[in-house]
Structure 1
Amino acid sequence: MAALRLLLALLALLLGPMARAEVLDREALSTFVRPPMSVGEPVSDRGVWELLNSGGALAGYVFETEPMAPIPGFSGAPIDLFVAIDLDGRFIDVRIISQNEPIFVSGLGEAPFRAFLEQYRGLSISQPMVVGTPYGDAGGGSALIYLDGVTKATASVRIAHESLLAATREVVREKMEGVASAPPAAPDPAHEEDLTWADLVRQGIATRHLVTNAEIDAAFVGTTWAHDDPEAQADPSGAYLDLWIVDLGPPSIARAALSPETVERLARFLEITPSAEPILLIDAGRHGLVSEDFVRNTAPDLLTATQDGLPVALRDADLTVGLAEGVPQGTAMILRTDRRLGFDPSRPWTLEVEALREHGSFQPEIGRTTLTAGHSTPERFFLREDATAQPASPVVEALRSRATDLAILGGLLIALLILVGPLMHRVARRGWLTPVRLTVLAVVLGFVGWWGQGQLSIVTVLGLVQAGTEGRSLAFLLYDPFSLMVWGVAILGFVLWGRGLFCGWLCPFGALQEFAHHAGRLLRLPQWEPNAAWDRRLKWVKYLLLAGLVATVLIAPREVETAAEVEPFKTAITVLFVRDWFYVVYAGFWLVLGLFLFKGFCRYVCPLGAVMALGGLLRGRDWIERRAECGSPCHLCKVRCRYGAIKASGRIDYSECFQCLDCVQIIDDAKQCVPRILAARAPIRAPRKEAA
């Protein structure tokens, strides 16, 4: 019944309405404001309030980021930050309101995240900021402000950074710069024009910005670096920067500027990141766009951009660039920015290019000057959404952001269902089963677990219980569509096979334990198994732990996260052992024990396994074939079953079956199945008796 209620709850979640986050009121927001400042009057219906100084005068604005920039975090849920800025657009304070990032909830803890946010104090929204570190010596004096990220949490802090800047830009535009925040413009996919590169140039869609060696030399006249570029002085009329800028968002423009192969790559990229605006840069001069230390897929170290005096976040799209016929040759790269972060491709913007010179050979002094290039793309290529249109929900954004992962996962799950379903008897053949099984488990561990963070957890089940007892929405599950897809297939497995599909094939930590067992066998370590009586007793431990966790939800809900640490999943899978030492020791204990005891945690301790066993009561059939001789006199399957899931009578205990298919291999094999061997010998014996 517990599994049936879980299934019904998930179905209701998929069909039910989404819960929307509410903005904080004055009282709640005031708890984040440091005295003597205080919260004044609201200035918008999306959580923006006046910030008053000790004398009651307007000193800036305070707001939360989620209502204006609900960008899903790595967990699928937006990171909500409190932000206070002064009237010049400088950050006074940035603090956490709520976040559900696994790495910060119980992995590294919130302290590194809070330390990261402290870096914003005193910085201005007008300064270009990126998460990362400068490469080589290009960071000294650069226009870019580098914010130190958090090891093992780069994705989470980068999303927090983008949410913070997007929300702050909107406030600055509307309340401080006097620039109304128009509905975002996006490329019109239906707009078609037959364009060539010559058309782009003639219509100003591709813009050129030429800086000669003489001009760059003039920029350094009178400085320490005036004579540090002999190539410029030898060829004054040569091109230092011969820059072409093209917005590739509109498909007609992309086809005119790029080779067909690159157009296809760009289209696939935009399917994954639909809010990205790709910008093509080509430099036929000496500058080269980036420094020698530049790393692909990061913010370009010599390029920044602004629009309306506010910075535009640029990042390398990491695409190989092939150009169309007639396009000038040179250093070509495609950058991307995000329209969700305030960039409007239909309006003018400015690219800023840093020119560097070095003086001295040992720890040279870096001199720099900034070259600017304006660009705009005709508005006919874009559509502007209705100002009253609602932004995509965080769930929709979560689906979009993980579209590729979800597609791959869907394919893998379908393949797995086919392997253990229609092809089960072929997979179970001798010589096939072990290689196929270990390959699947390796994919589950690497892709589903470490990459996709699809390790199911008892925390989800306890969250359902807690939401049910408190009358809260179940929408939190939709923020993680990757795990939800795994849950869906696991529940389908309840009906078809019992608990075995998830516990035997889809659990990343279970896969890790199975690999530990194989390592122990290869190392010829002694294998220990409890006797039948202790095996039966130990299997009840997981049910007792499950009952204790449910009781914790009802009696001490604040302690649920701590109690759920009985699972080592977060340590071993979510944060890959980057955690406090005692968590690492605990997870390591189970893996070391797995060298000697076959999957001890899965069989005896896992509370999620207890839930899966209860869910397996929905199983509609006995899918493992049995013969009359199974259990009497033959006990081969029982002896070979490492899970202890076969009774002395030969009956399968499906609540303990992990669907390893070992017994299926035995019963299908005429050379292993004892009843089949005896049946094959019987016709031979009979004639011999008659002859006697």
Structure 2
Amino acid sequence: MRHRILSLFLILPLWPLLATASPLPSEKLAQFITPPFSLGEPLNDKGVYSLLNSGGAEAGYVFETEPLAPLPGFSGAPINILVTLDLEGTFLDVRLIEHNEPIFVSGLGEAPLNQFLEQYRGLSIASSIVVGTPYGGAGQGSSLVYLDGVTKATASVRIAHESIMGAALAVAREKMEGLSLEPPAYPDPSVQETLTWNDLVAQGIVTHKRISNHDIDALFAGTLWEDDDPEAKDDPDAPYLDLWVVDIGPPSVAQAVLSAAGIKELQAFLTISPYDEPILLIETARHGLVGPDFVRNTAPDLISAEQGGFPVALRDSDLLIELRDDLPDPLLDGRALILRTDRRLGFDPASPWVLHVSALREHGMFQPETGSVTLDVPHTGPSRFYTRPEAPRTIPPWQEALRNRATDLLLLSGFLVLLLAGLFWRQSGMATRRVLTPLRLTILAGVIGFVGWWGQGQLSIVTVLGVLRTGIEGGSFGFLLYDPFSLLIWGVTLLGFILWGRGLFCGWLCPFGAMQEFAHHLGRLLHLPQYTLPARWDARLKRLKYLVLAGMIGVVIIAPDHVDTVAEVEPFKTAITTYFIRDWYYVAYAAGLLLLSMVLFKGFCRYVCPLGAVMALGGLLRGRDWIARRDACGSPCQLCRVKCRYQAITPKGDIDYSECFQCLDCVSIHDDQTRCVPLILATRKADRLKAAE
């Protein structure tokens, strides 16, 4: 039977590959779009559509993540998410379409995942978005945007995040040619230079734009409004616009422009709004900076900006401006305004950008018609005053996962090293009669508390089926790296196959198995009857777990979307992942198995567990018989066989390593002069010979 199952594993990769998911049809996709937006025409064959506003104009892009970034989740299937971006690369909406992540299917439910996805709204794909929490003061003044993860589902939400960003950046590269995907620069406070206003002008740090009355007349020439500015006709050489533009975000520049009181007020403002870039405008001619209806702390009505073909959101900073006394008199007598723009929205002060100034004219006395022309003022901030953070997108997700769990991994590594060393070199010492039970229960308690509930390191058949599905579909196995804690346990388990067979994981590292063992001890303390199945029925039922495993493999091949449902045969998610906080029938199932273990020793592990079947098959790699046997074991001595609660010793005294859980009970008996029958008989014989002498 075991060889048939193993053969099945070997031929599965030769099965025809399953078809990859196709993008949703437009009529189904349209149901996810929230009015006043609507779904436009398809833009390519990968499911990218245009997003239309209420007037029918293009307002952004709509797409699914699976066709563009099909990263496999822990079920082996990608998490498919609908993403809506505006033309500037800002997330308008992020919605879950379909997934098979076990933790969200029936464990935590989909609500935490949906809440996680809601955090993307309003963020820009040009931002450095990471999942987790900032280390120390890393979040202060940095360009990183942190998303709150989901407890007990960190790996799944990281996969979802990488899918979203991978798909969004793929669309941006194709459709948003002007969008900068680098983190924006920000003023470097460590750069300190002593500058004067003349230095700023000479070095081009200040941009000066002068438009004469003659120039503005020329721009309105041939229009309805060409004769509607008598002042321009009377004095064509006088300035219409005399505008000075300077970015005062860098401290050295601000100190060359503002008075001490102005610097103090600016610093107080930037303490409250650390992501805003302050831009000072000074106008000395007759245009002015704002219209008569302008309201402070709002967007200016006559001024706008753009960078890289995308608009820049400008807003009045509502600061009282006090310039240095040594600035030229025309500047001191002019009108000044400090605007602000948020760098998190994509503005890069170290890259070229353009200020647009609207020049307005009115024609007619009653219900006049308004005409306008736009005056462009290009500006570039000097790069030496700015610094640019490295984009965290270049950090592989597995490195981020390792960093976030570094302490847990260190503690787990220490525990595993001690356990492996003890089992390999100090097995007999651990199996001493007085030491074994308290030592074993202490270790198993740590496995439940630290490996299981704290570390969420309960291995599951879901991972095995996910690997199988990924192999069939030809996908990437990178999803395993998102949970390094469990991956480390998997690595030690694979090593255990060679050294001990299935016993290392099933006997020492499985949190739910440890729970069953504690349930058994509790049953004995309560003096509950203990049942042992007849050898014939025990042998038959031990084959059941292989049938369960084969059925699950069939589901992966035939109906992969239902893998998460059949995986509920494992109670691990209920007992370990969700702490028994689930629907009552899941809790009843897991609790029932623990109650069964109080009278039938680890019945689930021995007869039903599909992961146990995988471990037993993996145990065929075992390279040694690590449990010592004597010629008298089995005949005439049957003590180890009788005492073996796993019924893993044959009548001949041989160990059935495919069913051995490495509890060390038989090792304890084998080395005990007071319990091992052959040793007792040998001792008696030696005593008789000594007495005879």
Shorter chain as denominator, the TM-score bin is 0.5 to 0.7
Q: Give the 5 Å matches for 1:316-335.
A: none
Would you say the 8 A contact 1:76–1:398 is kept in 2?
no
Cα offset for 1:102? 4.0
Residue matched to 1:38 = 39
Q: Give the 5 Å matches for 1:134-213.
A: 180-183=180-183
Q: Supply the AA of the counterpart residue of 2:57.
A: A
Cα offset for 1:439? 2.2
Query: Residues of 2 paired with 1:420 and 1:108: CA distance?
Result: 37
Q: Give the 5 Å matches for 1:441-520.
A: 441-520=444-523
Q: Give the 5 Å matches for 1:607-618.
A: 607-618=610-621
SS of corresponding position for 1:421? helix
Residue matched to 1:94 = 94
Residue matched to 2:214 = none
Pick which of 518-527 and 671-680 moved more: 518-527
Residue matched to 2:103 = 103
For the pair 1:524 / 2:515, whether they are aligned, the reply is no
Residue matched to 1:84 = 84
SS of corresponding position for 2:654? coil
SS of corresponding position for 1:84? strand
For the pair 1:686 / 2:689, whether they are aligned, the reply is yes
Query: Residues of 1 paired with 2:167 and 2:594: CA distance?
Result: 45
Query: Residues of 2 paired with 1:159 and 1:468: CA distance?
Result: 18
TM-aligned CA distance change 1:130 to 1:502, over 3 Å: closer
SS of corresponding position for 1:432? helix
Of 342, 349, 356, the residue aligned with 1:309 is: 342
Cα offset for 1:47? 9.3
Query: Residues of 2 paired with 1:551 and 1:530: CA distance?
Result: 30
Would you say the 8 A contact 1:125–1:168 is kept in 2?
no
SS of corresponding position for 1:552? helix
Q: Supply the AA of the counterpart residue of 1:412.
A: F
Query: Residues of 1 paired with 2:657 and 2:634: CA distance?
Result: 16
Residue matched to 1:212 = none
For the pair 1:541 / 2:574, whether they are aligned, the reply is no
Residue matched to 1:357 = none
Would you say the 8 A contact 1:49–1:61 is kept in 2?
yes
Query: Residues of 1 paired with 2:347 and 2:577: CA distance?
Result: 34
Q: Supply the AA of the counterpart residue of 2:84.
A: A
Q: Give the 5 Å matches for 1:398-413.
A: 398-413=401-416
The count of aligned residue pairs is: 507
Deviation string for 1:328-373 (max 9, x for gaps)? xxxxxxxxxxxxxx899999xxxxxxxxxxxxxxxxxxxxxxxxxx
Residue matched to 1:427 = 430
For the pair 1:583 / 2:556, whether they are aligned, the reply is no
Query: Residues of 1 paired with 2:429 and 2:663: CA distance?
Result: 14
TM-score scaled by structure 1?
0.59
Structure 1 spans left out of the alignment, 5+ residues? 13-20, 133-146, 194-202, 209-239, 248-305, 313-341, 348-376
SS of corresponding position for 2:487? helix
Q: Supply the AA of the counterpart residue of 1:37.
A: S
Would you say the 8 A contact 1:42–1:50 is kept in 2?
yes
Query: Residues of 1 paired with 2:340 and 2:434: CA distance?
Result: 63
Query: Residues of 2 paired with 1:485 and 1:613: CA distance?
Result: 19
Cα offset for 1:61? 4.0
For the pair 1:643 / 2:646, whether they are aligned, the reply is yes
Q: Give the 5 Å matches for 1:62-77.
A: 62=62
Query: Residues of 2 paired with 1:639 and 1:479: CA distance?
Result: 44
Query: Residues of 2 paired with 1:116 and 1:397: CA distance?
Result: 18
Deviation string for 1:213-264 (max 9, x for gaps)? xxxxxxxxxxxxxxxxxxxxxxxxxxx99989999xxxxxxxxxxxxxxxxx
Q: Supply the AA of the counterpart residue of 1:573.
A: I
TM-aligned CA distance change 1:310 to 1:6, over 3 Å: farther
Query: Residues of 2 paired with 1:158 and 1:392: CA distance?
Result: 13
Deviation string for 1:421-446 (max 9, x for gaps)? 11111111122212221222222222
Q: Supply the AA of the counterpart residue of 1:52.
A: L
Cα offset for 1:176? 10
Pick which of 672-681 and 52-61 moved more: 52-61
Would you say the 8 A contact 2:409–2:485 is kept in 1?
yes
Would you say the 8 A contact 1:572–1:587 is kept in 2?
yes
Cα offset for 1:505? 0.8
Cα offset for 1:499? 0.9
Would you say the 8 A contact 2:502–2:660 is kept in 1?
yes
Residue matched to 2:608 = 605
Cα offset for 1:394? 3.4
Deviation string for 1:264-294 (max 9, x for gaps)? xxxxxxxxxxxxxxxxxxxxxxxxxxxxxxx
Q: Give the 5 Å matches for 1:610-629.
A: 610-629=613-632
Query: Residues of 1 paired with 2:600 and 2:615: CA distance?
Result: 22
Would you say the 8 A contact 1:500–1:658 is kept in 2?
yes
Cα offset for 1:676? 1.4
Q: Supply the AA of the counterpart residue of 1:309.
A: D
TM-aligned CA distance change 1:89 to 1:626, over 3 Å: closer
SS of corresponding position for 1:431? helix
Cα offset for 1:623? 0.9
For the pair 1:653 / 2:656, whether they are aligned, the reply is yes
Query: Residues of 2 paired with 1:548 and 1:578: CA distance?
Result: 28
TM-aligned CA distance change 1:473 to 1:166, over 3 Å: closer
Cα offset for 1:112? 5.4
Query: Residues of 1 paired with 2:4 and 2:664: CA distance?
Result: 27
SS of corresponding position for 2:434? coil
Q: Supply the AA of the counterpart residue of 1:416.
A: L
Cα offset for 1:484? 2.5
Q: Give the 5 Å matches for 1:320-399.
A: 384=390, 391-399=394-402
Query: Residues of 2 paired with 1:32 and 1:401: CA distance?
Result: 38
Q: Supply the AA of the counterpart residue of 2:96.
A: I
Cα offset for 1:53? 3.2
Query: Residues of 1 paired with 2:497 and 2:179: CA distance?
Result: 57
TM-aligned CA distance change 1:345 to 1:25, over 3 Å: farther
For the pair 1:562 / 2:565, whether they are aligned, the reply is yes
Deviation string for 1:558-606 (max 9, x for gaps)? 3322222111111112222222211111111101111222111011111
TM-aligned CA distance change 1:560 to 1:172, over 3 Å: closer
Cα offset for 1:628? 1.5
Cα offset for 1:59? 2.8
Deviation string for 1:127-146 (max 9, x for gaps)? xx9999xxxxxxxxxxxxxx
Would you say the 8 A contact 1:66–1:81 is kept in 2?
yes
Would you say the 8 A contact 2:116–2:149 is kept in 1?
yes
TM-score scaled by structure 2?
0.59
TM-aligned CA distance change 1:67 to 1:402, over 3 Å: farther
Q: CA RMSD in A?
A: 5.6
Deviation string for 1:603-652 (max 9, x for gaps)? 11111111211221121221111112111222221121111111221111
Q: Supply the AA of the counterpart residue of 1:84.
A: T
Query: Residues of 2 paired with 1:436 and 1:345: CA distance?
Result: 63
Would you say the 8 A contact 2:517–2:602 is kept in 1?
yes
Deviation string for 1:373-427 (max 9, x for gaps)? xxxx986876657xxx983343444344434333333332222211111111111
TM-aligned CA distance change 1:423 to 1:164, over 3 Å: same
Would you say the 8 A contact 1:75–1:479 is kept in 2?
no
Residue matched to 2:417 = 414
Query: Residues of 1 paired with 2:272 and 2:536: CA distance?
Result: 78
For the pair 1:436 / 2:469, whether they are aligned, the reply is no
Determine which structure has more spread, i.e. the larger CA radius of gyration: 2
Query: Residues of 1 paired with 2:398 and 2:67: CA distance?
Result: 14
Structure 2 spans left out of the alignment, 5+ residues? 14-19, 133-146, 192-249, 256-267, 276-338, 352-382
Deviation string for 1:464-498 (max 9, x for gaps)? 43344444444443433332322222122111111
Q: Matched residues, percent identical? A: 60
Deviation string for 1:41-74 (max 9, x for gaps)? 769x999864123653123444567999999999
Cα offset for 1:510? 0.7
